[in-house]
Amino acid sequence: MRKKLTRLKLFIFGANGQVGQHLVKELAKNDDNIITVFLRLNSQAGKLKQLGASNSIIGDLTDKEAINQVPDDTDVVIFVAGSQGKDVINVDQKAAMSVADVVKDKQISHYILLSSYGADSHSTTEHSLKEYLIAKGKADDYVKKLGIPFTILKPGVLDNHSGTGLISVKKENLEVSNRSIPREDVAKVIAYIAENQLLIGESLELISGNQSIEQGLKSLR
């Protein structure tokens, strides 16, 4: 069970994605949370409200003026958006960086960025996801150097199995062995980090394992 420290105002980019929908639902389990979601289409707002979103803002993730609509009193900004390989430079890289700029300008207390295991701005891999991993790596590097309170989460392969609540997590050199992790569990990890203000200034690698989310995350403090 997650420990709720304070009432939080959270802003989620990518809330209509698969991880994002799990995340909204998870955060909404705490009735005091105020969850604002950034959506591309107004038609998506009804579904997110049913999942627990308090408010929605419609805009283009690649438009810097649009993403600057993050309220000044936001406590946590979460970026779980992705282009599914369609526009990795402008969405997975540059949008994540632009949102980090907003976090800095508005002096927001915590930026949680969903990256990927293997993300590396200097990657020389021949993997089909090379462009994606480089873009994610560049965004990660930018966030780390910006001087903001961040947590970067780098899960292994994502799947759509039901979450188990059991993980394996390290700050680096996690052995993934082609294992995956349910998107639902990734969302639960993000929610736990956000609500407990854990691991600020850290980058974490994550896969399914045998530790509870609470045990795994607290072991890294």
- Kindly state the DSSP code that residue 89 receives in the 8-state scheme: I
Question: How far is CA 210 from each of CA 35, 98, 113, rounded to the nearest angstrom?
Answer: 30, 36, 24
Evaluate if residue 64 carries a pLDDT over 50.
yes
Q: What is the pLDDT of residue 1?
A: 42
> In this structure, is residue 2 part of a structural domain?
no
> In this structure, is residue 32 part of a structural domain?
yes
Q: How many structural domains are present in the chain?
A: 1
> In this structure, is residue 3 part of a structural domain?
no
Contacts of 107 (CB under 8 A, 6+ apart): none
Q: In what order do the strands lie in the sheet with 110-114?
A: 55-58, 34-39, 9-13, 76-79, 110-114, 150-155, 202-208, 166-170, 211-212
> In this structure, is residue 92 part of a structural domain?
yes
Among 25-29, 106-110, 129-133, 197-201, the minimum mean pLDDT is found in 129-133
Mean pLDDT of the chain, nearest integer: 93
> In this structure, is residue 45 part of a structural domain?
yes
Evaluate if residue 116 carries a pLDDT over 80.
yes
Global pTM value: 0.94
> In this structure, is residue 51 part of a structural domain?
yes
Q: What is the CATH number of the domain that holds 170?
A: 3.40.50.720
Q: What is the pLDDT of residue 127?
A: 72
CA-derived radius of gyration, the chain: 16
> In this structure, is residue 203 part of a structural domain?
yes
Q: What is the pLDDT of residue 30?
A: 95
Evaluate if residue 221 carries a pLDDT over 90.
no
- The whole domain housing 32 covers 9-218
Model confidence at 139, pLDDT cuts 50, 70, 90, reads very high
Q: What is the pLDDT of residue 28?
A: 97
Q: What is the pLDDT of residue 51?
A: 98
> In this structure, is residue 65 part of a structural domain?
yes
